[in-house]
Each structure stands twice: as structure tokens, then as C-alpha cells.
A and B are shown apart, each in its own frame.
Chain A
Amino acid sequence: MENLKKNIKDMLESGEIAGFLGLIEEEGHPIPFLFTKDSLDKLDALTVPDIRYPMTDILLKIVRKYPEDTIGVMVRGCDDRALIELAKNQKILSDLIRPIGVACTKEMAEYCRCSQPYPREIHYGEKVEGVKDRSDLEKVESMDLSDRLDYWMGQFSKCIKCYGCRNICSMCFCDQCTLEDDTLILTGQAPPEIPIFHLIRAFHMAGRCIDCGLCEEACPAHIPLRSLYRKVREDMADYLGYVTGMDETERDPLEFLGSDGYEVPTKIDET
């Protein structure tokens, strides 16, 4: 931890970065905070807690106002995947971001069922192996179609339309949100029109979702949203060999055809 603090302090003092987005502990509560060279004393309160805030979402708000500054940010595996996607989508310039990587503990990795609980470069913590767990998908897949629909309609009908899943999402960076398009989804209803509300969002997550699980943590109705997004994520890998959060130079195959591939997916399940 002391090394981490020193590292950040040096970067701020040398002017390598204009700010460092991390978390401080205030009266026992971890909260996001941007360290600058004017607030170095706050580094005493720097913390790497076991709760997560949407760091790259916050980063984007700062970058939008300071597009030319270099900013450091504390990232876990999920945040780092988000950085790759944000760069792919031209929301940030990787050259202007200095990720400080934190590896998650085994407990956190298991709690999050995270397949890659570490960032590209680790500055803090010990790398642990990812968790391979698709029991949530298997649970749904074990049902027949009619039970699945009952299950999901039951889940969706709890939705209070808080938009929390979108608001907390690092990948929901659009200026205008389809979920608020009143030609598609009626406004003013809670629950919203189902299943369209949730399926539109789920489809958008194909080629976007970095499987951080913040959506599910933010859902007051406890809807297993992440399973939906994990499903499309898995499909993108199976059908199109595309996994988000891996390589900045790749492109979403649902948006871009690619220069050398006019290939048609062959593995199409027709039932």
C-alpha cells in the first residue's frame, strides 16, 4: 500500500498525471475521490476496498471535461476490460490514461464469479485464477421454453424502472439511450414494457458487456440481469469468436464487418 501511495504521489508531483481517480476511506466508508497535486494529503486515506464503484464511468465524466489531460485510475480486472472497450469506442485515448492495476482477492473473485479478476498490469495485490462458473446460465438452460419465459417474465415484472443497470454500467456511454426512446418503449410505466425493455438492453450488451456484474448489484428488484448479458457475451464468443475487453484493436463484429472477414457464421442453432 505504501508503494502504491508513493507511486501515485510521484506521478502527481512529476506532472505525469493531472489527477488520480481512486477511493478514499471516510469514516469507515470507501468513496471515489480524485487525487491531484493539491490534495496529496488525502493519499493517507487511500483504500482498496472490497466494494466496487463504477470507476471508468466516473473517469469518463472527468475525461469529458478534461480531454487533454493525462489521468491515472485505479482499475481491477473488470475496470481494465472497460478501459479497453472505452478506447475501442473512442471514448478515451489510452495514451492519456495511466491505469494502476489491482488484483482481486480470491474471495472477491468468487463473489463476483469473475473469469479474469486481474488487470493487464498488476500494481497491487496477488493475481488469483479466474472463476469458471456458468451455473446461472445452466439453471435457465435446464428449463424448457415455456418455463424460461415464465421465469424471465416473473423477473422482469419486478422491475421498477430505476435505470440503475444502465446508470452504473461502464459500457453505457451513449449520449442518447434507446431505453428512453418513446417510439420503442412506452414512458411512465413501472414495470416498463416487458420483455422489450430488458431485451433491448441485453442485445446492446452483446459486444459491449465486460461482465463486471455491477448491474446486478445495483438492481433493487434483484433481477438476474447479468445472466442475460453473460449469455450474449458467450454467444459472441461462440459464434463470432469475439470477446470484449481483450484487445483494443479488435472491433465489435455486430457493428463492423472487418477487413478480411465476410464470413457467415456457420454455427447457427435453429431450434
Chain B
Amino acid sequence: MAGLAAAFGSGAMTNSVPEFEDADCILITGSNTTSSHPLIASRIMTAKAKGAKIIVIDPRRTHMAALADIHVKQNLGSDVAWINGLMHIILKEGWHNQSFIDERTEGFEELKKVIENYTPEKVEEITGIPKETLREIAEIYAKSEKSSIVYCMGITQHITGTDNVKSLANLAMLTGQIGRPSTGVNPLRGQNNVQGSTDMAAIPNKYPGYQDVTSDEVREKFEKAWGGPLSPNVGLTVVEMINAIEEGKLKGLYILGENPMISDPDSTHVEKALDDIEFLVVQDIFLTETARKADVVLPGSSFAEKDGTYTGTDRRLQKIRKAIEPLGDAKEDWEILCLVGKAMGSKGFDFASPSEVFDELAELTPIYHGIDYDRIEHEIIHWPCRDKDDPGSPYLHKDGFARGKGLFTAIEYKPPAELPDDEYPHQLTTGRLPFHYHTGTMTRVSPSLTHEVNEAFIELHPEDAKSLGVRNGEKVRVSSRRGSIEVKVMLTPGIKKGVAFIPFHFVEAAANRLTNAAALDPIAKIPEYKVCAIKIEKLDGREA
């Protein structure tokens, strides 16, 4: 998010989902697309059937990797290095797009200096990607007519997450693979409304529509609209708020529809914070692990019980529609929030329907300004959509970047925060399964899904398992400096040796008891979920 915003002026997916079908090359990294975004994977399969080259760079042989033309397994956390390596080759070979660089970007000279050092030999040493393969990837990506980059949490959940994203942006700008249909840099949003919640300023430094809380002009606009003084200070992120509880600075917390007890890194730490906080309100549809800690639990409604809008990963506004009434005495979430606002004595929550809420937010959010419920009944609109005549924007940065010129950032490779050592000799990465969603609160009550998988496992390379003396299906103890869980072994020849994978959906063996919460990307404040050091111990040899 922060990385793309710095490079292009907007952190969103640059192109729309159907465009993937017409790409000539799709470079996928850090996205287990068939699991986490199956219907985007479907488009990518169509592209392949039409002749596109699919390149996957991922430490695991994911389903998409198995279907790809090229799959290489990089060392965990070595992304900046291989991206710089690609750019090094592209520049050496003259496959870059000089006129695009001249006309549309700035900062190229600094970038050039840094990538000069990333020779294929050096890159192979850091990343484990053979230099011949790197060259092949560079050639396909740079020389294809329309190349698109797809990434997900495997890129962002690192201490260098922002650097990784900026590097991908560098690569796209270097080759002019952006600002046209079926090109671009495309972060896939994991949850249904990540894009919308960010658009709606569920972030500490912006008002809706990415307007800075520190800008006097913007603040005055919102003070006028909302009828009162607003704070000029940037607020705290999720992880910082958890820390602030520990420090005694944060006393009250309202959690809407999230389960940080499972989803946040270092769950032990989160649990302590939620135990310690003075007043905790949780609004949810289940009594989640987090809700159990609350002082007040407000029963909300599922997507079937309310109206509203989601903004899809490609900035597409879509309605959800009420099919049934909320269960029991539960209420629609928008209504609960209006009631809370009113109970606090505010006059700004007198809405009769989500449509009225939308009208207010669209009024204040320039990128949503031209959108209303009536339009999205009939049209597919991707923001920015600035007025009623604006058809919206399936792809961004057509004639110029949102920030004016695209900004190259020269970035050096930095290793992950926690590297394997004698005590914790393996590396752990985490992710999703196709059969479950996030912390499992919704999917683990769904019989069709639990039938497929209902317990955690650790994917190990057969050779690693052999040296540990453990067999398929056997239960092992997995520990990091932060905690320990027991899971059964699943032998997986497709994973990189020395690397293990645990899906994070399972509360009884929560992968995030192990992950490294303390290691944050300095800008995006995203924890390094995708790399930490672990040790794996044989238990009594029992089958799980």
C-alpha cells in the first residue's frame, strides 16, 4: 500500500480483474492465487490458454506455480534482490523503455546506480534463483507486449514489505509495463473489503479517500462536515495500539468484526494486552477468541442480513443486499454504529439507510464522488470516479501517475529480521488454504469446508523430515522464540528445503504464536509474518 502510493501516488491495484485475461505475461509473486483468489486465478488460467507466459516466484510449489511456465523458489525475504537482479539484466540488455522513463518518471539515475551492483551472480547467491532463469524471466517480462505483476501478502508481510513493493513498481516503470490495459502492478486484497476499509480511512493517517489528517485544509473540510474539532495528529496502527495498551497509554478499544487474537502476530502478546485493557468493546457475529475478552459484545449481522457496499480488490464498487433479517436480537452493523454514535450524544449519525451513509461519504471522498447506489445498480464502477458523468477507471495511471511523475526508489537488499541459527534452524512461512478464510471463524463452522480440512499441519520437505526423523502424519512440536504449537507433519516435496509452511486458520495451533510481531516494516507497519526462525521437534512418534 505505502510502497505503491510512494511510487505512483495510489496504493491500489492498478488494473481490473478481467484485464488479466489479455495479458501476455503475468508475473506472480507472494500470491497463492488459486487458494486465496480462485476466480482471479481463473482469469490467469484463461490468459495462459490464450498463450500468455505465467511466471511464479514463490518458495512453495503452489497450485499456480505447478501450472506456470516458469516457477522458481527464492530464499525467504530475498525479494528486493531478485527484482533488482531482473532490472540489472533488463538494463544491460537494453530491454527497458527509455521513452517511458524519460517522459513519465523521476529518480532513474539513483536507481541505475544501485541496480548496477546486482549482477546475476550476486543475485543467485542471495536469492537462490539460477542466473539463467533470472535472465529468462527478465526477457519475457520486459519484452512481452503487456506484462502484469500480481502480488499478495507474500510480498508485503516482511520488514522490507514496502521496499519489495517499491521494487516491483520500479520494475514496471523501467519497462513501461504500466498505465495500459492488462499491465500494471496488482496487489490482490485478501479480505472482501480491504480496499474499501482503507478507502474509508480505517487507517490512522488519512480521512476517507486518502486525504491526510495532517493537512489543515483537509481537516477544516472534515471539521465543517462533521461539525467539530478534529485531531491533527496521526494515530496509532493496530500493532502500535496493542503496544500502547501494554504501556498503559491506551485504555479503551472498539473492535469491529476482527479477531486479532488469531490474526495478529505474536498472539501471546495480544492476549495479554486484551486482558489488561480497561474497556474493550467487540462487535461481531460470533463469540470469537477476541470477543471472549470483551466488556461488551454487540451482536452484528452477516453479509446476508444487511445492505451496503464492498470495494473489490480492483477498486470496483459492489452492493451487498439483505436477504434475511438479522438473527435473534442482532442488528445490522451500520445501525449499531449509528446507535453508538447517538448514544455518545452526537448528531452526525442520523441515517435511515446505508444508502444515506454512502451519500455522505461520497460527498467527502473525491475518488467516490461520482458514485451512488443507483449507479452501481446498473454500472460497474472502479474508483476514481469524480462526478456523475465519470465512468470510473478500470486501470490507473493512463496518461500520468496519480502523483504526477512515477517515482523510482533505489533500494538495497536487506535480509529478514530473524535468520535461522543453531537453536532455530528452520524457516517458517505462513498462508492460506483454499478451503478456509482468515482466522476460520466463518469457514470452520461450514460443513462443506471443514470436510476438506479441519486441522493445522506443517508442510515439510521430505529431506528435512528425514533428517528430523519424522514421518508424514506424525505430530511434532514447532517452536520459535515467541511460542510453541503442536501440529502434524505433511510431507511436501514442492516446498523449498529448510522452509516450513503452516496455514494460519486454526486457533488450536495458531501459526501466529510463532511469527515475529516485533519485526515491522518501518513504513507500512506490517509484521514479518512470512519469515521467522523455528525449530521442529519430534514428539513420541504418534500419528496425529
Contacts and interface: CB of A to CB of B under 8 A. Distances in A.
Given A157-B66, A222-B46, A187 B451 contact: yes
A251 interface: no
B49 interface: yes
A138 B46 CA distance: 23
B38 A162 contact: yes
B522 interface: no
B382 to A, nearest CB: 19
Contacts of B377: 27
Interface in A177-194: 180, 187-188, 190-191
B435 A188 contact: yes
Given A187-B451, A188-B452, A190-B434, A158 B67 contact: yes
Contact of B378 (A27, A162, A187): A27
A220 B448 CA distance: 18
Interface string B369-393: 0000000011000000000000000
A41 to B, nearest CB: 20
B292 interface: no
Nearest to A191: B63
A160 B434 contact: yes
B456 to A, nearest CB: 12
Contacts of B452: 161, 187-188
Nearest to B38: A160
Interface string A141-171: 0000000000000000110111100000000
B119 to A, nearest CB: 36
A28 interface: yes
A36 B469 CA distance: 66
Given A160-B34, A160-B434, A188-B452, A222 B42 contact: yes
B39 interface: yes
B28 to A, nearest CB: 15
A220 B39 contact: yes
B137 interface: no
A221 interface: yes
B41 interface: yes
B318 interface: no
Contacts of B66: 157
Nearest to B377: A27
B41 A220 contact: yes
B451 A220 contact: no
Contacts of B435: 188, 190
B45 interface: yes
B453 interface: yes
A161 B452 CA distance: 10
B42 A221 contact: yes
B15 to A, nearest CB: 20
A160 B41 contact: yes
B484 interface: no
Nearest to B448: A163
Contacts of A160: 34, 38, 41-42, 63, 434
A187 B67 CA distance: 21
Interface in B135-194: none
B10 interface: no
B453 A158 contact: no
Contacts of A191: 63
Contacts of B35: 190
B525 to A, nearest CB: 33
A231 B433 CA distance: 34
A161 B38 CA distance: 10
Contact of B434 (A28, A161, A180, A222): A161
Contact of A187 (B34, B63, B453): B453
A158 B66 CA distance: 9
Interface in B15-58: 34-35, 38-39, 41-42, 45-46, 49
A222 B41 CA distance: 11
A157 B65 CA distance: 12
Nearest to B433: A188
Contact of B34 (A163, A188, A190, A222): A190
Contacts of B34: 160, 190
Contacts of A157: 66-67
Contacts of B38: 160, 162, 220
Interface in B399-435: 433-435
B537 to A, nearest CB: 25
A163 B434 CA distance: 12
Contacts of A161: 434, 452
A162 to B, nearest CB: 7
Interface string B429-445: 00001110000000000
B378 A220 contact: no
B504 to A, nearest CB: 16
B49 A222 contact: yes
A28 B31 CA distance: 35
A222 B45 contact: yes
Interface of A: 27-28, 157-158, 160-163, 180, 187-188, 190-191, 220-222
Interface of B: 34-35, 38-39, 41-42, 45-46, 49, 63, 66-67, 377-378, 433-435, 448, 451-453
25 contacts: A27-B377, A28-B378, A157-B67, A158-B45, A158-B67, A160-B34, A160-B63, A160-B434, A161-B434, A161-B452, A162-B38, A180-B451, A187-B452, A187-B453, A188-B433, A188-B435, A188-B452, A190-B34, A190-B435, A191-B63, A220-B41, A221-B42, A222-B42, A222-B46, A222-B49
Given A160-B41, A187-B452, A191-B63, 17 more contacts: A158-B45, A158-B67, A160-B434, A161-B434, A161-B452, A162-B38, A187-B453, A188-B453, A190-B34, A190-B63, A190-B434, A190-B435, A220-B39, A220-B45, A221-B42, A222-B46, A222-B49
* Shortest beta-carbon contacts, A-B, top 4: A188-B453, A220-B42, A190-B434, A188-B452
